[in-house]
Amino acid sequence: MAIPKNVGKTERALSIAGGSALLMDAMIRKKKYAPLELIAAGLLLFRGSTGYCPAYDVAGKKEESVKNINIRVSVIVFKSRQKVYNFWRNLSNLPYFMDHLEYVQVLDENRSRWKVKGPAGLHLTWNAYIVKDIPGELLGWSSLPGSDVETSGKVEFLDAGKYATEVRINISYRPSSGISGKLAKLFNGKFRRLVKRDIQNFKNYIETGNH
């Protein structure tokens, strides 16, 4: 019997990337929470390789009903590429210019916990893992299983002249199945505007030092 598919192609690819990164981290570093990382890695790899998520199945979620908020923004910042990268790499800096973020708690080199303020008094949290890090060039992350929001994204840093950097941001959000359809629709509509505004705030923040 064929396994039903309820996970989209983009999420499958991100699940495989995140699962592989977690698996390597757990095996190489052998941290005290390695067993939890191995479980999360197994779930992500299974979801990515098969296109099937048991949690979605329980919630009655079908692949075609899954809707992401995909946000793409590009800005030119008059700061060096390394400085801009360093600022983003310290994830706890993000709430300084992203009003929708209540906090980002850095747990270790690759893991962090995020909390956002959504519409209608909605507060959502998730744990994220950095799945790709090329110093001075790129950061990529993905949320871990069990999060209120499934999210992934990447930030690219490119030279834009001697004293400027082009920052390309791609972020994907999707409310979990635990959020009602009405709230999810409100979340989708308003959240896109919030994130785009926050990214534009970044330019002024880092250029002027208006902390």
Architecture of the CATH domain 68-208: 2-Layer Sandwich (3.30)
Enumerate the domain spans of the chain: 9-64, 68-208
- Taking Cα atoms as reference points, which of 13, 38, 12 lies closest to residue 25? 38
Q: Helix 81-89 to helix 181-208 angle, to the nearest 10 degrees?
A: 140
For tokens 């303020």, the residue is 117
Tens of pLDDT along 14-44? 667 666 666 666 666 655 556 666 666 666 7
User: What's the angle, vertex CA 151, arms to CA 149 and CA 157, rounded to 5?
Assistant: 150
Tens of pLDDT along 101-160? 888 999 988 899 988 776 556 677 888 999 889 999 999 988 887 777 778 888 999 999
pTM value?
0.64
